[in-house]
Amino acid sequence: MGLCCLLVKLAVAQSSFQFAQISDLHIGSHDADEDLRRTVNDINANPDIRFVIASGDITEFGADAEIKLAKQILDSLNKPWYIIPGNHDDNWSESGTNTFNRIFGNEVFAFSYGGIHFLGANCGPNMKMSPGQVPYGNIVWLDSVLATIPAREPVIFVDHYPLDSSLNNWYEIADRLKKRNIQLYMCGHGHQNHRYDFEGIPGIMGRSNLRAKDSIGGYNIITIENGHAVYRERQPGLETKKEWAVVALKDHHLETDTRSWSRPSYAINEQYPQVKEIWRYQDSSDIGNGFVLYKNRIITPDSRGRVLAIDPGANRVVWRFVTGGKIYAAPAIEKNRVVIPSTDGTVYCLNADSGTVLWSTATARSIVATPVIKNSTVFVGSSEGKFRALRLSDGKTLWEYDSVKNFVKAEPLYTQGKLIFGSWGNELYALNGKTGKAEWVFHDGYGNRMLSPASCLPVEAFGRIFMVAPDRYMTALDAATGKLVWKHRWSEHWVRESMGLSADKKLVFAKTMQGHLVGIDTRSDSAVVAWKTDNVFNYELNPSVITERKGRVYAFSDKGVIAAFDRKTGATVWVHKVANCLVHDLQFINDRKIALTTMDGKVVLLQIPK
């Protein structure tokens, strides 16, 4: 039995019952399917277990085949089961998380058993590396479900991430739950059994089902009895270990708690008052990627599958276009033609003035990759192992390259007649823009897909291609041949997926995981650091593009921080925080005004100094 999103009464209130928590299944990793089958058989043999909760990271890579295999195995359970995705299901999904929702029915659940309401939500981050982010739509859903629950009836909440700053918007969930009779917060993610106190909410992290260094995996059996939740780890087919955690299930009345808890700080904005927010729009959904500017409008897609044309001056949405799937690509524009791919597998070309469809080209799989338009041709990758050239005038396919390993996510670089892009198959491609034939393919040497150069937009300077990937190396390749020029990893500069190029092409900019930028000499035969900025971002993962404009270098973070630095020295010019989540894109309306979008659905205009 699959999940159910409606509040379903499964049984009358009982004095005691048992259920199982399985977590971090990672189907697609070594032995994961065998470990899950063993656990399922063990649960089926236990008549006392009434239902099962699967608390995220169901798959290793969010791949369609992995999701289908997980569903096949879980369908052999002989009792109800409820499931939510984890960051592995969300961040690397070739379908833009659509397959998880289609196969499992949803990404949230709500049911009641034994007088307790069990609620589970998605943790994100959807399609971009960052801390977790409960999607805005899930928060709206949570509000609607909580509104149906009488105020003091007990609630157990389930998410993949702990209820702390590993979720960018943990406080939005915590503040809502503390107004109710929240008795327990359940999570996975850490792969180990662990007890927590989340601002007064008792928390339990359940172990991974994977065997790791053991011979078999394991899971937790939770017994609800005498006002307590008793946790015991179970090794399938072997033993149930003694209790390792006992949580008192009671009304903590946290709505009356007067203690002060950490919340995101916007104090940095007081240090730089010359930067001012002049307009803000909140979408009813998350925003999955960047936007384009057209006349006085900001044209942005959202994760509900809509494309919105917003007029900040009139403070209204001028037009909307709805696709058949979520959108995690950014649009591209030439004149009045906006091109946007959707996870419904279609590339759409819209009239930027009206939002009407000029043409649409269907493909066989979801598309999460951002297109680029050059010479009246649309170039875009897909999730079916293909990269296409489409004629901008009518969407006709000009050529297809069908040898992409795994799927394409990022925007390609167009340089010297070539398209340079990476895939989640550990390869970087250089295709001829006219013929679609591969001029060279660079393999990064890894077997682990998660180290692929897929989320980075490479840059070109002086006949070299530069990229940064999750391996924390900067790599320089010969643009003509794809041969390695140099590859370097700094112990103090963990570069990862975020980079840009100076206006004169003399520096490659890279954002580090430590939270600062480095400027690297593009002409040197080795990795030479020209300058380093102060750490303004702290721990940082956002795979964003760094840009230069009129002597200022602009970068932004996964915590809603935008910063400007001096191009010559790397000195900080100003810093401003707009949200506590990932900033997707930043574009200039003029020298004093910038537009930006955030993962949680915000569109913001800032006035900046000259």
Q: Is the pLDDT of residue 15 over 90?
A: no
What is the mean pLDDT of the segment spanning 48-69?
A: 98
Closest alpha carbon to 596 in 306, 264, 310, 305 = 310
pLDDT recorded at residue 12: 39
Q: Which two tokens stand for residue 558?
A: 């996964």
Q: Is the pLDDT of residue 1 over 50?
A: no
228 inside domain: yes
348 inside domain: no
- Asked whether the beta carbons of 400 and 436 are under 8 A apart, the reply is yes
Coil/strand/helix, residue 408: coil
Mean pLDDT of the chain: 96
| 97-150 tens-digit pLDDT | 999 999 999 999 999 999 999 999 999 999 999 999 999 999 999 999 999 999
More confident position, 143 or 11:
143
Domain count of the fold of the chain: 1
What is the mean pLDDT of the segment spanning 241-259?
A: 97
- The pairs formed by 383-389 with CB atoms below 8 angstroms and a separation of 24 or more are 383/94, 383/95, 383/407, 383/408, 387/412, 387/419, 387/421, 387/429, 387/431, 387/436, 388/363, 389/433, 389/436
212 inside domain: yes
What is the mean pLDDT of the segment spanning 414-429?
A: 98
Domain span including residue 230: 8-255
Threshold 0.85, pTM exceeds: yes
What is the mean pLDDT of the segment spanning 371-389?
A: 98
| 564-606 tens-digit pLDDT | 999 999 999 999 999 999 999 999 999 999 999 999 999 999 9
440 inside domain: no
285 inside domain: no
| 19-53 tens-digit pLDDT | 999 999 999 999 999 999 999 999 999 999 999 99
pLDDT recorded at residue 10: 40
| 263-319 tens-digit pLDDT | 999 999 999 999 999 999 999 999 999 999 999 999 999 999 999 999 999 999 999
| 519-533 tens-digit pLDDT | 999 999 999 999 999
pLDDT recorded at residue 4: 41
17 inside domain: yes
570 inside domain: no
Q: In whole angstroms, give the CA distance from residue 576 to residue 585.
A: 15
Confidence grade of residue 9 (pLDDT, cut at 50, 70, 90): very low
DSSP state, residue 463: T
pLDDT recorded at residue 2: 46
pLDDT recorded at residue 426: 98
392 inside domain: no
CATH number reported for the structural domain that contains residue 97 in this entry: 3.60.21.10
Q: Is the pLDDT of residue 3 over 90?
A: no
